């Protein structure tokens, strides 16, 4: 994990596919969802403004990062996750076929770069949460993961994910 950085993030337009799921369902949902999003973006003729991302909502940071290992593992696998798969765009798209047009508001956030498998990201999240608490920041109950390379053609240990957590002071 890189050193956490505080950033001012501008508003961001995106085409979004929303799902509620268990964590073990996410890989299949993402394998199906992102091609659907990219096809819709191409059909609308809008340029992308960055790499695809996931937006996780309704997070309980203390429960997810501080529980005993068994309770944390149990929580990850039994929790219903509110997942938004999204593609950032240069302008607001049109909603279509169950896809939503969203403009995420500007925010102050802490970002880190995670290197490695998606399964090891929990370690980066735990370190990030400890850092946030140590700095006196309060994380919002959401986070973003920007996928900087494609898991279809990248070795798992070479994956790079930019984690962004909106904060309150």
Give the tens place of pLDDT for each residue, 127-138. 898 899 899 999
Q: Which of 35-39, 61-65, 119-123, 157-161 has the lowest mean pLDDT?
A: 61-65
How far out from the chain centre does Cα 16 lie? 12
In this prediction, residue 75 has a pLDDT band, given cuts at 50, 70 and 90, of low
pTM for this entry: 0.89
| H and E: helices and strands count for the chain | 4, 9
Query: Residue 166 pLDDT > 90, yes or no?
Result: yes
Going from the C-alpha of 130 to that of each of 109, 123, 150, 154, 158, the distances in angstroms are 15, 11, 29, 29, 25
Q: Which residue has the tokens 């939503």?
A: 100
- What is 5-168's CATH topology? Multidrug-efflux Transporter 1 Regulator Bmrr; Chain A (3.20.80)
Query: How many residues can be counted in the chain?
Result: 169
| pLDDT the model gives residue 122 | 82
In this prediction, residue 73 has a pLDDT band, given cuts at 50, 70 and 90, of low
In this prediction, residue 24 has a pLDDT band, given cuts at 50, 70 and 90, of confident
Going from the C-alpha of 53 to that of each of 78, 86, 87, 101, the distances in angstroms are 23, 5, 6, 14
The domain segmentation of the chain, as residue ranges, is 5-168
DSSP annotation string for 77-100: HHSPEEEEEEEEESS----BTTBE
| pLDDT the model gives residue 66 | 61
Strands 138-139 and 12-21: unpaired
């Amino acid at each position: 994990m890189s050193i956490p950085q505080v950033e001012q993030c501008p508003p961001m337009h995106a085409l979004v596919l929303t799902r509620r799921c268990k964590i073990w369902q996410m890989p299949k949902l993402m394998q199906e969802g992102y091609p659907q999003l990219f096809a819709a973006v191409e059909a609308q003729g809008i340029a992308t403004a960055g790499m695809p991302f996931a937006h996780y909502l309704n997070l309980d940071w203390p429960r997810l990062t501080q529980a005993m290992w068994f309770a944390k593992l149990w929580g990850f696998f039994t929790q219903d996750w509110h997942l938004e798969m999204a593609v950032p765009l240069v302008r607001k798209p049109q909603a279509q076929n169950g896809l939503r047009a969203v403009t995420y508001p500007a925010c102050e956030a802490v970002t880190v770069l995670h290197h490695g498998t998606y399964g090891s990201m929990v370690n980066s999240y735990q370190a990030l949460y400890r850092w946030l608490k140590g700095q006196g920041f309060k994380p919002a109950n959401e986070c973003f993961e920007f996928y900087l390379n494609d898991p279809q053609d990248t070795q798992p240990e070479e994956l790079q994910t930019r984690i962004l957590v909106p904060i309150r002071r």
